Amino acid sequence: MKKLGVNIDHVATVREARKTVEPDPVYAAVLAELAGADGITVHLREDRRHIKDRDVRLLKQFIKTKLNLEMAATDEMVGIATEVKPYSSTIVPERREEVTTEGGLDVVGSYERIKDVVSSLKSAGIVVSLFVDPDLEQIEASRRAGADYIEIHTGRYCEAFGGEKEKEELEAIRRAAFFASSIGLGVNAGHGLNYKNIIPVLEIPQIEEFNIGHSIVSRAVFVGLYEAVREMVLLIRGKA
């Protein structure tokens, strides 16, 4: 059965718009779990623009599902992860000026660094995923670097959705998922997915879990977080 990890970064974005204490991402995590989420994802960015260290520590204590910590491959983040011990860590590229994660990790180009980070995290008992574009060379390097999972960056497909390149981008994800699974990697997917563009991606059998944030938090503004998560859970489980 396919799973949903809810990314709650943008609950913290609203909090940080006023640098206050609400809305609290810990409350959001509890509601998401009550609505059926299989996991909670947060990205602790170097600039702490939304999620703070305090959130990660409290989430680890509070949640009953799995905490997935998205992080850059830096010594600081490895230190925090090996201390807090989330269920899993997803290594993402990070540039200070970007609005959101813009492209997959260059595992080929930063191979030695990524391999060291994967090894440190795995030694702490953390499941490690690498966020990569649907590129077979990057996926093969991810396996060599010791990753347990890849998370396929679905951003290009989502941008192409409804246009001429949609099929081509969907095929790239399908090929990447098949290849990753055939060399022993677990496969997750995320970035830019919403209630419509996820539907064709649900047909790809190798994808185990979807990490979705912005579209769920956006819908939550109108229908409430419980309802927004519930609708996505039902879509993913094939019952909507």
Catalytic residue among 43, 94, 151, 153: 43
Q: Which is nearer to ligand PXP, 139 or 193 (CB)?
A: 193
Helix (H, G, I), strand (E, B) or coil at 33: helix
- Residues in contact with 2: Cβ distance below 8 Å, sequence separation at least 6, in sequence order: 202, 207, 208, 209, 210, 236, 237
Catalytic annotation on 50? no
Residue number with CB closer to ligand PXP (142 or 211): 211
Candidate list 141, 145, 192, 230; residue touching ligand PXP; CB under 6 A: 192
Least Å from the CB of residue 5 to ligand PXP: 8
- Choose the binding region for ligand PXP from 24-32, 77-85, 116-124, 213-221 (rule: CB under 6 A): 213-221
Summary count for the chain: helices (H), strands (E): 11, 8
Neighbours of 186 (CB within 10 A): 18
90 touches ligand PXP by CB under 6 A:
yes
Kindly report the three-state secondary structure assignment for every residue of 59-96: HHHHCCCEEEEEECCCHHHHHHHHHHCCCEEEECCCCC
Our CB check for ligand PXP shows the closer of 101 and 181 to be 101
Count of residues that bind ligand PXP according to CB under 6 A: 19
Task: Catalogue the E-assigned strands of 12-148.
Answer: 39-43, 66-71, 88-91, 127-132
CB of 128 vs ligand PXP, minimal distance in Å: 13
Distance CA 210, CA 129 (A): 13
| Residue 207 sits in the site that holds ligand PXP (CB under 6 A) | no
> Residues 78, 113: contact at Cβ < 8 Å?
no
Taking residues 68 to 87 in sequence order and writing x for each that binds ligand PXP by CB under 6 A, - otherwise, the string is --x-----------------
Per CB under 6 A, contacts with ligand PXP among 128-187 are 131, 151
Is 191 an annotated catalytic residue? yes
Burial of 82 (0-12, 13-18, 19+ CB in 10 A): middle
214 is a contact residue toward ligand PXP (CB under 6 A): yes
Residue 190 binding ligand PXP, by CB under 6 A: yes
Tell me which residues are annotated as active site: 43, 70, 191
Binding site for ligand PXP (CB under 6 A): 7, 9, 43, 70, 90, 92, 100-101, 131, 151, 190-193, 211-215
